[in-house]
Amino acid sequence: MSSVIAIDGPAASGKSSVARQLAEKLGHLYVNTGNMFRGVTWAVLNAGFDLKEKEAIAAYASELKLEFVNEGGHIHMLVNQRRLTDAELNSEAVNGAVSHVAQVSEVRTRLVEEQRALVARGDLVMEGRDIGSVVFPDTPHKFYIDASEEVRAARRSKQGLNDTVAMRDKLDSTRKTAPLIVPEGAIRIDSSDLTLDQVVEQVMGELRSRGVA
Ligand code: C5P
């Protein structure tokens, strides 16, 4: 059975950078599940749905052709055979819509299934909102990367991204299915006053003590 390192946390907490570096150091595959929700959202918007049409979105999402390719250790999702660009995945339209699409339970069910199937590809570092709580509740390696709201908003604007971090967090934390929580057994790291290297080192130290790294 492949090993899974679950990295959860709110928007712009630094979890993507941490997860990418960990995957590289450990030689695991890196999986960004936020990009999967973003990919489905891009397709939903491109097909012209109104975000209120939850049933139509659910039906459309279950028909989407989703494939996963390994590009240099990073798993990317193809949507209807299309490899979306970072600009498309992080557009203002997708930022504004993704947390609404992520509330549709059929979308979650479909993506959770795809995420679980990725263990067949090898050891994983998977980041998201519900990885330790719902997708892989049995993995012993769960980390929750946090940061203050001010620090997170500053990080996003430094990246030049116009994102509605607070709005997404509210929707993500209060939704009925798989809300953002600190999973049971997770180690919570507040990255507000830490450098990326310091956070990665804390996680690596913990994994070393468990004989994983
Ligand atoms: O990680 P990122 O901020 O790119 O995620 C975009 C959105 O996708 C989140 O705000 C959330 O609504 C949704 N998401 C989710 N479950 C995950 C990963 C992301 O609901 N495991």
Tell me the whole-structure pTM to 2 decimals.
0.95
Per-residue pLDDT of 32-52, as tens digits, reads 999 999 999 999 999 999 999
Measured by CA distance, the residue closest to atom 16 of ligand 1 is: 129
Can you say how many angstroms the Cα of residue 71 is from the centroid of all Cα atoms in its chain? 17
Q: Which amino acids bring their CB within 6 angstroms of ligand 1?
A: 11, 33-34, 37-38, 98-99, 102, 128-130, 168, 172
Pocket test for ligand 1, best of 129, 152, 169, 175 (most atoms within 8 A of CB): 129
How many whole angstroms from 145 Cα to the centroid of ligand 1? Answer: 14
Domain 4-209 has CATH 3.40.50.300: yes
Atom of ligand 1 nearest to the CA of 130: 21
Report pLDDT digits (tens) over 78-92: 999 999 999 999 999
What is the mean predicted confidence (pLDDT) over 134-156?
93
Cα separation, 39 vs 151, in Å, equals: 26
pLDDT score for 134: 97
Sign, Cα dihedral of 6, 9, 11, 12 = negative
For residue 156, pLDDT beyond 80:
no
SS3 category, 172:
helix
Residue ranges of domains in the chain:
4-209
The band of 162, judged by pLDDT with boundaries at 50, 70 and 90, is: low
Other Cβ atoms within 10 Å of 25 Cβ, number: 14
Residue type, 15: K
Express as a percent the part of the chain with pLDDT over 70.
98
